[in-house]
């Protein structure tokens, strides 16, 4: 179970990650594998009675709230992550935001939006260092492939962008200590099947062509 705290535009990326993980684990295990997704609005809404296996939380919703100081954003996130840790909840993956900003994709001055994205990326690193949360560096992965190739920007719109972000998310999930849920040998095989970021363009082409 993946529980996701993300922007609405990122939902296809989460769904793509679930599909990729489901397909990879099925091949690696030699039998069908169930991967489910729940979307919630904040870390405070993460399920208590039916806890997820992994929580994925993105900073993209914070980009549009330019009026809120980064210090205030940091306080909210630290509080939310501390509450999850106190409950003994599952691991959290923090997603950075792709720094390419189209002029019509988000309100405000483009340079100011890029600077806010940069500061949120630094916050993700700080929170990871202090809380143990993992980081899925969407910005680094997308910069490697290129905005023109993926035909997208910070909002990750488009099927190619969703599949590329899904790949990064699956790599993050498979890098966690999930031996109680996924047998180690199945994880290792799934990692091999997923491939590295250097193979991402061919991976996305296969997914778009429906070849998994």
CB distance 58 to 97 below 8 Å: yes
pTM: 0.93
Stretch 83-95: mean pLDDT, rounded?
90
pLDDT at 54 over 70: yes
Average pLDDT in the chain: 93
Give the per-residue pLDDT at 159: 95
Asked whether residue 212 carries a pLDDT value surpassing 70, the answer given is no
Burial class (CB in 10 A: 0-12, 13-18, 19+), 50: exposed
The per-residue pLDDT for range 104-150, each reduced to its tens digit, is: 766 668 888 999 999 999 999 999 999 999 999 999 999 999 888 89
pLDDT of residue 107: 63
Domain boundaries, the chain: 2-208
pLDDT at 134: 96
- Do the strands 37-39 and 134-136 form a parallel or antiparallel pair, or are they unpaired? unpaired
pLDDT value of position 20:
97
**Overall fold of domain 2-208:** Rossmann fold (3.40.50)
């Amino acid at each position: 179970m993946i529980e996701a705290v993300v922007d609405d535009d990122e939902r296809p990326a989460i769904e793509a990650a679930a599909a990729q993980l489901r397909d990879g684990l099925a091949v690696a295990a030699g039998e069908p594998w169930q991967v489910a997704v729940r979307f919630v609005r904040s870390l405070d809404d993460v399920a208590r009675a039916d806890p997820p296996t992994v929580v994925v939380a993105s900073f993209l919703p914070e980009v549009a709230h330019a009026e809120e100081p980064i210090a205030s954003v940091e306080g909210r996130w630290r509080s939310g992550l501390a509450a999850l840790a106190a409950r003994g909840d599952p691991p959290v993956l923090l997603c950075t935001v792709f720094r390419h900003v189209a002029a019509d994709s988000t309100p405000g001055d483009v340079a100011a939006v890029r600077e806010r994205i940069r500061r949120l990326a630094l916050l993700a690193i700080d929170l990871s260092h202090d809380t143990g949360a993992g980081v899925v560096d969407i910005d680094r992965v997308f910069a490697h492939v290129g905005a023109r190739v993926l035909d997208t920007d910070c909002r990750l719109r488009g099927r190619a962008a969703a599949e590329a972000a899904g790949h990064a998310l699956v790599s993050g999930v498979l890098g966690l200590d999930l031996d109680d849920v996924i047998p180690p040998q199945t994880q290792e095989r799934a990692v091999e099947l997923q491939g590295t970021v250097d193979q991402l363009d061919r991976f996305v082409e296969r997914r778009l062509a429906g070849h998994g």
